[in-house]
C-alpha cells in the first residue's frame, strides 16, 4: 500500500521525498532507470521526514527487529529501530558478516544475488519489519522474509521508500503487507539534478 492511500494523501513530506530522488538512466546497466536516493540524505528535513513517516507507522506495532537490506536499507533501518525501541539487524551480501550466517539466494531484475544474516541475530517469536529503499520484482524482500522466518521471526510488514505503482513483487512477499512512500520518478522530471 502506498502512504498516500493510507492517510497521507496530499502530505507535503511525500512530495519532498519524491523530489529528492534522482533518476540515473543506464545504471548499473543499460535499460535500468536507477532511482538514486542519495540526494535525499543531503537534505536533513527530507531525510527526517522519511524516517518520521515510517516511525509513525511502526511505533505501536510491537516490532522488536528492524531488518535492513544491504546497502540502502542500512540508511533508514537504524534510525527507525532506535525511534521505535527495536534492534537493527543487517541483512548483508555474502562474505560481509564475520560470524556464522544463514544465506538465501534470490533473483534480481538484472541478475542473481544472496543475502546473509548472523545466526542468532533474531530469536523465535520476534516481530520484524524489513526495510529497503525500493521494490521492483520483490526478490530481495522475499529473500529477507525467508531468512527471518527461518530463524523463527514473524515478519509483520515490509517497507520501502520507492515502489512501482503496480508493485509486481507484492505477490512474491509470501502474503506479507508492503508499505511504500512514493512511486519511482520519471527521467523527464529529473533533468538538471
Q: In what order do the strands lie in the sheet with 87-91?
A: 87-91, 65-69, 127-135, 154-163, 178-182
Q: Is 76 helix (H, G, I), strand (E, B) or coil?
A: helix
Q: Is the pLDDT of residue 191 over 60?
A: no
Over residues 132-161, mean pLDDT? 94
Long-range contacts of 40-44 (CB under 8 A, 24+ apart): 40/161, 41/75, 43/16
**pLDDT (tens digit, 9 = 90+) per residue, 174-186?**
889 999 999 998 8
53, 180 contact by CB (below 8 A): no
Lowest mean pLDDT among 5-19, 74-88, 176-190: 176-190
Alpha-carbon gap, residue 113 to 42, rounded angstroms:
29
Whether residue 104 lies in the annotated active site: no
66, 81 contact by CB (below 8 A): yes
Catalytic residue among 72, 92, 172, 185: 72
The CA distances from residue 28 to 3, 34, 35, 74, 111, in Å, are 28, 7, 11, 20, 11
Burial of 115 (0-12, 13-18, 19+ CB in 10 A): buried
DSSP 184: P
Catalytic residue among 5, 13, 57, 109: 109
**pLDDT (tens digit, 9 = 90+) per residue, 15-50?**
999 999 999 999 988 988 899 999 999 999 999 999
- Mean pLDDT across the chain, nearest whole number? 91
Alpha-carbon gap, residue 86 to 88, rounded angstroms:
7
Over residues 140-148, mean pLDDT? 95
Give the global pTM: 0.92
Residue 138: CB atoms within 10 Å: 24
Whether residue 72 lies in the annotated active site: yes
Amino acid at each position: 500500500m502506498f502512504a498516500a492511500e493510507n492517510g497521507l494523501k496530499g502530505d507535503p513530506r511525500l512530495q519532498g521525498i519524491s523530489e529528492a530522488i534522482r533518476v540515473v538512466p543506464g545504471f548499473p546497466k543499460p535499460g535500468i532507470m536507477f532511482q538514486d536516493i542519495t540526494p535525499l540524505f543531503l537534505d536533513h528535513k527530507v531525510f527526517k521526514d522519511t524516517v518520521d513517516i515510517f516511525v509513525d507507522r511502526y511505533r505501536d506495532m510491537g516490532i522488536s527487529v528492524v531488518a535492513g537490506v544491504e546497502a540502502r536499507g542500512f540508511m533508514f533501518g537504524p534510525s527507525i529501530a532506535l525511534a521505535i525501541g527495536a534492534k537493527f539487524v543487517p541483512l548483508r551480501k555474502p562474505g560481509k558478516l564475520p560470524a556464522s550466517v544463514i544465506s538465501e539466494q534470490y533473483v534480481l531484475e538484472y541478475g542473481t544475488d544472496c543475502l546473509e544474516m548472523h545466526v542468532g541475530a533474531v530469536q523465535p517469536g520476534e516481530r520484524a519489519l524489513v526495510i529497503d529503499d525500493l521494490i521492483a520484482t520483490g526478490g530481495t524482500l522475499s529473500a529477507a522474509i525467508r531468512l527471518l522466518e527461518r530463524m523463527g521471526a514473524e515478519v509483520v510488514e515490509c517497507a520501502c521508500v520507492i515502489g512501482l505503482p503496480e508493485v509486481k513483487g507484492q505477490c512474491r512477499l509470501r502474503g506479507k503487507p508492503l508499505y511504500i512512500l512514493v512511486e519511482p520518478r520519471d527521467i523527464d522530471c529529473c533533468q538538471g539534478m
